[in-house]
Amino acid sequence: MNDPVERGQPVLVRYADDFVILCATGQGEVLRQRLTRWLTARGLKLNEEKTRLVDSRKGFAFLGFRLRWQPSRVNGKWYVHVEASGRSQQRLRAAVRGKLNHWTLGQRTPAVVTGLNRLLRGWSGYFHYRHSSRVMGKLNWYVRDRVKRWLWRKHGQTRALWSDYPDEQLHGRYGLWPLPERAAWKSPKAPNAL
């Protein structure tokens, strides 16, 4: 009972004019009515089409993220798990396929990799948050696999795909930018400035 929701304290997660209120079971409708009164007093109103009550233990999507309450594997305490939603991941995979297909085989490799890196950095800038390590790891594998297949076709290779283009070569020689697999809050602290 260490998390605020289990103790009965609702938690507001907001981005601009979109927000989610995480609360204990049974509090949702009361908080919705309270919020409606508060907004009405200020001349505002909820978008009824977008407003809904959901069980956060089953999870829900919010601004491209998937949020759900789940227990920690380390200490068993409940927390809000936040990662890129499956739909957001699928959109990135589709965008990568759009940059690495038979129409781009005639383009110069540095130009294609630069465009791909721009896509990956932008996606990472938005989704590299909280519990993103697992998702970033899966997507790194996917991107590397697509780049290897693209290079293999571009260079007309007939030998084994994996031995011709090891990961180190993709990042070193070709300059592929890897999605960060370490959550920002787990990164080692920078040394103190002198």
Q: What is the pLDDT of residues 96-136, one digit of tens each?
A: 999 999 999 999 999 999 999 999 999 999 999 878 889 99
Rounded to two decimals, the pTM is: 0.78
Task: Give 72's pLDDT tier (boundaries 50, 70, 90).
Answer: confident
Q: What is the pLDDT of residue 42?
A: 94
Q: What would the 3-class secondary structure string for the chain be?
A: CCCCCCCCCCEEEEECCEEEEECCCCCHHHHHHHHHHHHHHCCCCCCCCCCCCCCCCCCEEECCEEEEEEECCCCCCEEEEEEECHHHHHHHHHHHHHHCCCCCCCCCHHHHHHHHHHHHHHHHHHHCCCCCHHHHHHHHHHHHHHHHHHHHHHCCCCCCHHHHCCHHHHHHCCCCCCCCCCCHHHCCCCCCCC
pLDDT confidence band for 6 (50 / 70 / 90)? low
Task: Answer whether residue 50 shows pLDDT above 90.
Answer: no
